Amino acid sequence: PYEVYIYGLSCGLSDNILLKTLMQKSNCKQIRIFYKKSKNNRDNFRNILMNISRSLEDKEDMRSKIISQQSNDFIPQLAD
């Protein structure tokens, strides 16, 4: 069994084959999304989640694997 950590990927169309290969296996137990947060506290968690849902066929399995958004799972960004 293994867990998938999404860190720095948009999970868009270019990542589609990789996502299907890793996440649709029965050995994949959890998917954890690390997201970016902007200065106004907006984040891209939902966008990544939607992109993942477009790639995976079994939505029920996907919902059971994805860990809900955690407040400490954001990727710290360097100040401009």
Residues forming a β-bridge with 7 = 34
pLDDT digits (tens, 9 = 90+) for 20-66: 899 999 999 999 999 998 878 889 999 999 999 988 889 999 999 99
- State residue 55's pLDDT score: 85
Determine phi and psi for 53, rounding to 5 degrees: -65, -30
What is the distance between the alpha carbons of residues 56 and 23, in angstroms, rounded to a whole number? 8
Say if residue 78's pLDDT is above 70. Answer: no
What is the distance between the alpha carbons of residues 71 and 35, in angstroms, rounded to a whole number? 10
Count of Cβ atoms closer than 10 Å to residue 45 Cβ: 19
- State residue 67's pLDDT score: 95
Global pTM value: 0.85
Residue 70 token pair:
């955690």
Give the pLDDT band (50/70/90) at residue 80: very low
